[in-house]
Amino acid sequence: MAIEILHLSSIVKSALVDRDGDRLGRVEDLIVRLGDSPHPPLSGVVVRIGHRVMFVPIHRIAGIRPGRVELVGETVSLGRFTRRPGELLLAGDLMARHLINFSGARLIRANEIEIARLEGRWEVVGVDPSPRVALRRLLPRPLARHIRAGTSVDFASIEPFVAHVPTARLRIPYRKLAKLHPAQIADLVEAASHDEGEEIIEAVGQDRELEADVFEELDPEHQLEFIRSRSDAEAARLLSTMAPDDAADLITELDQERRLPVLTLMPPAHQRKMRALLSYNPETGGGLMSPDFLCMPETTTVSAVLDALRASPAPPEALAVVFATDADGRVTGSASVVSLVQASPGSALSSVVRPNPAHVHPDADIHAVVRKMSDFNLTVAPVMDSEHRMIGVITVDDILELMLPTGWRRDFGMAVAED
């Protein structure tokens, strides 16, 4: 048996009638309570009878169809409607607002909301983001019914922004956001309004590491937008969880009078890394590099190097290559993780490395860095001082991000809301 899909626009402003078909009033809205159900059930109907706005529980509704909602019995309680915690109004809170479509990691606009009766109860089953269906709310009902539906999105993959509903006491669930890549979450934040973006950032804030990863993926404009609203202590806490090179870039964008107070609130180890990076021009090898890498004596066994890789707090992209040093701390070679995994566990690191690795100096400009990484096919470029000692690494993702034009995600449709 085919399931009949009803559109919210065909129900709102419909007649409220008793079992004899006599008109009692008008339907103002439908109420749902979000919870664990993928398709939230209707909990009631907001109706207007005369000058009074009242709540009718869903068990008092005998039938719902376009233009008509029928009551069980002939009377309705005259108690005024008061929103209860956790309740959302489909028309008032969700219609024409942005929702997160987790199946595509994009924002969509709820231009139409679809309900259906499933297993004896009314549920919200989908959202139609097609721009043309928004006309249903503007045209007379006889004309509106001729507007064809677009491709709807299953409500099970959707999460609404509800921070604008004071009594909802609901937030975007962290567990859903955590399934997305930080870059996808950043795309959502950049496509959202400021308040919506704050709601996403608040949700990921339950995981400090994920919050830092998302901030690293945001464009500079949005990084500043959100960090400026935080106290110095909150800003220092966030910067301390970010990669040092990304944190250094961000702190230089803060207002001058805030930079030193925020920096001094960071842990000493982070302060040292940040101060070292801030001493370089941002578009040189020293300004681009990360101070987190793995460098070990060339006499170390491959087994011990692999153990060190597993325990290293450095970001994974920086650990794609391990560097070997002699007794004086000078770099003698580099080895990819693949070559280490393929080597005999008992062999020395010196037997696995490629000698005299291509490198850049901290004062090399961005063009020199790009040429060196391109010529030698480097995904990780070591930055060395004049004594051939390691001071940092530049990863290819940092170069790509710097070379791409500002706003490239939006320009290529990666962070555009589907209206």
Please say whether the beta carbons of 150 and 130 come within 8 A.
yes
Q: Which of 128, 160, 192 is the last residue of a domain?
A: 160
Q: For residues 67 and 413, what is the distance between their CA atoms, to the nearest angstrom?
A: 39
User: Quick one: 263 and 304 in the same domain?
Assistant: no
DSSP state of 293: -
User: Quick one: 141 and 188 in the same domain?
Assistant: no
User: Quick one: 276 and 299 in the same domain?
Assistant: no
Type of residue numbered 4: E
State phi, psi for 68 to the nearest 5 degrees.
-160, 130
User: Quick one: 192 and 276 in the same domain?
Assistant: yes
Domain of 35, CATH number, reads: 2.30.30.240
Domain of 229, CATH number, reads: 1.25.60.10
The answer for residues whose C-beta is within 8 angstroms of residue 374's C-beta and 6 or more apart is: none
Q: Is residue 417 part of a domain?
A: no
Count of structural domains within the chain: 3
Q: Is residue 72 part of a domain?
A: yes
User: Quick one: 209 and 153 in the same domain?
Assistant: no
Please say whether the beta carbons of 318 and 290 come within 8 A.
yes
- State which residues form the domain around 380: 295-402
Q: Which of 126, 160, 194 is the last residue of a domain?
A: 160
- Bridge-based pairing of strands 106-109 and 153-154 is unpaired
Q: How far is CA 399 from the centre of its chain?
A: 23
Q: For residues 329 and 298, what is the distance between their CA atoms, to the nearest angstrom?
A: 10
User: Quick one: 68 and 208 in the same domain?
Assistant: no
Q: Is residue 169 part of a domain?
A: no
Q: Is residue 1 part of a domain?
A: no
User: Quick one: 10 and 156 in the same domain?
Assistant: yes
Which pLDDT score, from 0 to 100, does residue 85 have?
77
Q: For residues 262 and 226, what is the distance between their CA atoms, to the nearest angstrom?
A: 15
State phi, psi for 361 to the nearest 5 degrees.
-95, 155
User: Quick one: 27 and 149 in the same domain?
Assistant: yes
Q: For residues 67 and 23, what is the distance between their CA atoms, to the nearest angstrom?
A: 12
Please say whether the beta carbons of 89 and 77 come within 8 A.
no
Q: Which of 160, 188, 217 is the last residue of a domain?
A: 160
Please say whether the beta carbons of 123 and 35 come within 8 A.
no
Q: For residues 91 and 377, what is the distance between their CA atoms, to the nearest angstrom?
A: 55
Q: What is the DSSP string of 89-121?
A: EIIIIITTSEEEETTTTEEEE-SEEEEEEETTE
User: Quick one: 328 and 250 in the same domain?
Assistant: no
Q: For residues 337 and 348, what is the distance between their CA atoms, to the nearest angstrom?
A: 14
Q: Where are the beta strands (DSSP E) in 299-371?
A: 321-325, 331-336, 354-355
Which segments of the chain have a pLDDT < 70?
1-2, 74-79, 134-147, 149-150, 164, 166-170, 405-419
Q: For residues 238 and 396, what is the distance between their CA atoms, to the nearest angstrom?
A: 24
Q: Is residue 416 part of a domain?
A: no
Q: Which two tokens stand for residue 182?
A: 């930080």
Please say whether the beta carbons of 237 and 215 come within 8 A.
no
